[in-house]
C-alpha cells in the first residue's frame, strides 16, 4: 500500500470524532459516550480493502458539512494533488472557498492550496492571481513568494521573477543572487536576439554585479563585445571563464575562433586553446589541440601526444582518435579489421554517453541547460569529463 494512504487512518478517526461530536453534544458538563458513526467504519473498510477512491469519497462527504474539519479537508486536497488528481483537489478547494463566513487566515490557506492546484494544472495566470492575494497574509508570505517565483519562471516573466525573488531574498535572508543573475541573463539574451545591445548590456552588468563570476554573463558579455567589433576584449571576457568556471571554456571555443578569424590572428585562438586545456582538462579541447598538431606539424607528433594523454588518463575519446590516426597513417602492426572493430565499439560508447549532468538531481543530457529540466536548479549542470589516472599494472 502507498504509505500516503496511511494518512487516511487518522483522518478517518478524526472524521468520526467530528461527526460523533455533532450527533452527541455534551450537556451540563457531562461527557457522553458517542457511538462511532457509520462513515468511519465504511471508509476504514474501503481503505483496508484498498478501495482508496471510495474511502476518500466517504470521508469527503462526511466532512463537508463541518466547519471544524477545514484542516482535514485541506490535508485531503493535498493528498489528491500528490496523487495527480488535480481536478479533484481543485473541486475540493473551490468548494471550501465558496463556504459562507470563510475569512482571515483560513481563507488565505485555502487560496494558497487552490493556487497550488492551478499551478500543477498549468493554469499559471490563475495561480499567479491567487498567490498575490494569499501572499497578503503574514503566515503565507514566504510560501506564496516561493511558488510565485516558480510561476514567473514557467511564464518566462523574468522582470516579475526578479522582483519576486528579490522580495523573497529580503524576507528570508537567503542568498538568491545567483538565481536572480540568471534572470538578468535571460533578459539579456532576449534583448540581444532582437538587436537591442544597450538593454542587453545593462542586464549583463546587473547579472555580474550580483554574481561577478557568473559564467553565463561572461559569455554574453563577450558576445556583445564581439558584435561591436571589440574582438580582443571579447576574448578577454571568455578567457576569464578559466578563473572560476574552466569547465565552460569549451562552450566559447567557437566564439574565440570567430573573433580570431575576424582579427586574422590564428595564434590568438591557439594560445586560448592551449590555456583552456591546461585550465580545464576537457577532452574535447584536447582533441582540438591534437588535430592542430596533426594538421600543422605531423601525424607522428599528434600520435605521441595522444599516447601520452591516453596513458595518463585512459580517455576513451583519446583512444578513439588514436585509432583514427593509425588508420589514416602508414600500415601498422595492428590489423585494419581490428582497428575498425575497436573504433566502432568505442564510438558507440561515446555516442551513448551524456555530455552534461546536474550536480543536484543527477539529470543527464547531451546539451547544456542553464536551468536543470529535472530539479529546476539554476547553474547546476556541468560537463561530464574527468581524468582518471591508471595504476602501472593497468597500462598496456
pLDDT digits (tens, 9 = 90+) for 219-270: 999 999 999 999 999 999 999 999 889 999 999 999 999 999 999 999 999 8
131 part of a folded domain:
no
pLDDT 10s digits, 260-279 = 999 999 999 989 998 999 89
Cα separation, 95 vs 197, in Å, equals 51
Give 296's contacts (C-beta < 8 A, 6+ positions apart).
Answer: none
* Domain tally, the chain: 1
Query: Per-residue confidence at 191, pLDDT binned at 50, 70, 90?
Result: very high
167 part of a folded domain:
no
Whether the CA torsion 92, 98, 101, 107 is positive or negative: it is: positive
387 part of a folded domain:
yes
pTM score of the predicted model: 0.75
Helix and strand numbers (H, E) in the chain are 20, 3
381 part of a folded domain:
yes
In terms of Cβ atoms closer than 10 Å to its own Cβ (0-12, 13-18, 19+), residue 3 is: exposed
C-alpha cell at position 372: 536543470
pLDDT 10s digits, 17-59 = 555 555 545 545 444 444 445 555 555 555 555 565 666 666 6
pLDDT 10s digits, 70-107 = 777 788 888 889 888 899 899 988 988 888 877 888 89
Q: Which domain holds residue 375?
A: 354-396
360 part of a folded domain:
yes
Q: Which residues of 216-227 are buried (b: 16+ CB within 10 A; e: fewer)?
A: bbbbbbbbbbbe
375 part of a folded domain:
yes
The DSSP call for residue 358 is: E
178 part of a folded domain:
no
Is 313's pLDDT higher than 80?
no
CB 175 within 8 A of CB 139: no
365 part of a folded domain:
yes
**How would you write 322-355 as a 3-class SS string?**
HHHHHHHCCCCCCCHHHHHHHHHHHHHHHHHCCC
Closest CA to 379 of 246, 214, 210: 214
Amino acid at each position: 500500500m502507498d504509505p500516503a494512504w496511511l494518512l487516511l487512518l487518522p483522518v478517518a478517526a478524526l472524521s468520526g470524532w467530528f461527526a460523533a461530536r455533532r450527533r452527541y453534544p455534551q450537556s451540563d458538563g457531562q461527557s457522553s459516550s458517542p457511538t462511532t458513526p457509520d462513515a468511519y467504519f465504511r471508509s476504514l473498510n474501503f481503505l483496508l480493502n484498498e478501495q482508496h477512491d471510495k474511502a476518500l469519497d466517504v470521508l469527503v462527504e462526511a466532512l463537508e458539512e463541518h466547519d471544524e474539519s477545514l484542516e482535514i479537508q485541506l490535508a485531503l486536497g493535498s493528498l489528491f494533488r500528490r496523487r495527480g488528481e488535480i481536478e479533484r483537489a481543485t473541486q475540493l478547494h473551490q468548494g471550501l472557498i465558496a463556504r459562507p463566513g470563510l475569512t482571515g487566515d483560513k481563507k488565505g490557506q485555502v487560496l494558497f492550496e487552490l493556487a497550488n492546484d492551478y499551478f500543477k494544472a498549468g493554469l499559471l495566470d490563475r495561480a499567479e492571481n491567487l498567490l498575490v492575494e494569499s501572499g497578503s497574509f503574514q503566515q503565507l508570505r514566504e510560501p506564496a513568494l516561493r511558488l510565485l517565483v516558480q510561476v514567473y519562471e514557467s511564464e518566462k516573466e523574468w522582470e516579475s521573477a526578479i522582483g519576486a525573488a528579490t522580495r523573497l531574498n529580503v524576507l528570508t535572508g537567503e542568498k538568491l543572487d545567483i538565481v536572480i543573475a540568471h534572470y538578468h541573463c535571460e533578459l539579456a539574451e532576449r534583448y540581444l536576439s532582437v538587436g537591442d545591445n544597450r538593454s542587453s548590456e545593462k542586464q549583463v552588468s546587473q547579472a555580474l554585479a550580483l554574481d561577478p563570476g557568473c559564467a553565463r554573463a561572461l559569455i554574453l558579455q563577450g558576445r556583445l563585445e564581439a558584435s561591436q567589433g571589440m574582438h580582443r576584449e571579447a576574448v578577454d571576457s571568455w578567457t576569464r571563464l578559466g578563473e572560476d568556471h574552466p569547465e565552460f571554456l569549451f562552450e566559447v571555443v567557437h566564439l574565440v575562433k570567430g573573433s580570431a578569424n575576424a582579427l586574422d590572428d590564428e595564434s590568438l585562438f591557439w594560445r586560448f586553446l592551449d590555456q583552456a586545456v591546461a585550465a580545464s582538462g576537457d577532452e574535447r579541447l584536447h582533441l582540438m589541440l591534437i588535430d592542430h598538431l596533426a594538421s600543422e606539424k605531423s601525424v607522428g607528433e599528434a600520435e605521441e601526444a595522444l599516447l601520452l594523454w591516453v596513458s595518463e588518463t585512459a580517455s576513451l575519446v583519446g583512444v578513439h582518435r588514436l585509432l583514427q590516426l593509425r588508420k589514416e597513417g602508414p600500415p601498422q602492426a595492428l590489423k585494419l579489421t581490428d582497428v575498425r572493430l575497436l573504433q566502432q565499439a568505442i564510438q558507440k560508447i561515446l555516442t551513448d554517453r551524456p555530455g552534461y549532468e546536474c550536480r543536484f538531481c543527477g539529470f543527464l543530457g547531451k546539451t547544456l541547460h542553464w536551468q536543470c529540466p529535472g530539479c529546476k536548479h539554476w547553474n547546476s549542470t556541468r560537463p561530464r569529463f574527468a581524468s582518471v589516472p591508471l595504476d602501472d599494472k593497468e597500462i598496456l
